[in-house]
Amino acid sequence: MKKLVTLAMVALMAALPMMAQRHNYGSTPSNRYDYERSHSRWIRNYYGKDMYFGVRIGPAFSHVSGDAIGYAGSSKTGLHLGGVIGFEITNRAPVFFETGLSYVNKGGKGDFLGSKVTTSLSYIEFPLVFKYIYYTDMGLSIHPLFGGYLAVGADGSIKDYNSHTKISAFGKDKDGYERFKRFDGGLRIGCGVGFSMFYLDMTYDIGLANISHDDYNSSSNRTFYLNFGVNF
């Protein structure tokens, strides 16, 4: 899974310089200024008054990294669905701040005392990222992004396939023991591609919050997204 994420991110980021080479706005300051000013108007006209709205949907490939015995290990596939809003933060460059609200299913698969265990952790998530929207001569726009996210656990379960039992991941069990904390947050990095109103991106979340309730363990989420959507 880590190799897949790394290769996908490298492939998308490697496309940036190749796309940039297709720009031909001249080397003189005046030509460069005219080009950038023209494209700044293009971006504002396209999104409408320096902002845009969008919807996103796609798979989320996640795993729990750390010391959570039985819950950490291989990745599981969940759903990511949400909406975003972006604001241009300066008229000197096409830099946008993007936030929104989304639902995402994270978790992972593991093994505990020879028993197959699947952990499902569903969150309401708030992205907090900065984007530089870079237009090419081919009608495509490149959207490198960096920032973070905050999340609150909405629902969660832990399934033990050997004993055929299912328990809550966030709530307390009969002994009063809680397995995972509801709060999550971390870094987000990625890159998107837009064509007309259509949009595609690949992002990777690095959880910085310790989601484990165990005083002796430290665990965090790692999630790779492949998002499809439209911007209005």
Q: What is the mean pLDDT of residues 13-23?
A: 44
- Residue environment code for 7-24, b if the CB has 16+ CB neighbours within 10 A, otherwise e: ebbeebeeeeeebeeeee
Domain boundaries, the chain: 2-231
**What does DSSP assign to residue 91?**
S
Element (H, E) at 199: strand 198-207
Contacts of 4 (CB under 8 A, 6+ apart): 61, 224
Which CATH architecture does the domain made up of 2-231 adopt?
A: Beta Barrel (2.40)
Name the band, by pLDDT with cuts 50, 70 and 90, for residue 72: low
Q: If you average pLDDT over every residue of the chain, what do you get?
A: 81
pLDDT tens sequence across 107-116: 988 877 677 8
Q: Please, what sign has the CA dihedral across residues 156, 161, 167, 173?
A: negative
Cα 165 from Cα 146, distance rounded (Å): 40
Query: Pick the residue with more confidence: 199 or 29?
Result: 199
Q: What is the mean pLDDT of residues 19-26?
A: 41
Query: Pick the residue with more confidence: 11 or 26?
Result: 11
pLDDT tens sequence across 32-62: 445 445 555 544 444 445 899 999 999 999 9
Is a pLDDT exceeding 60 seen at residue 218?
yes
Name the band, by pLDDT with cuts 50, 70 and 90, for residue 156: very high
Name the band, by pLDDT with cuts 50, 70 and 90, for residue 215: low
Q: What is the mean pLDDT of residues 138-160?
A: 94
Cα 19 from Cα 141, distance rounded (Å): 9
Name the band, by pLDDT with cuts 50, 70 and 90, for residue 195: very high
Q: What is the mean pLDDT of residues 202-231?
A: 91
Return the pLDDT at 129: 98
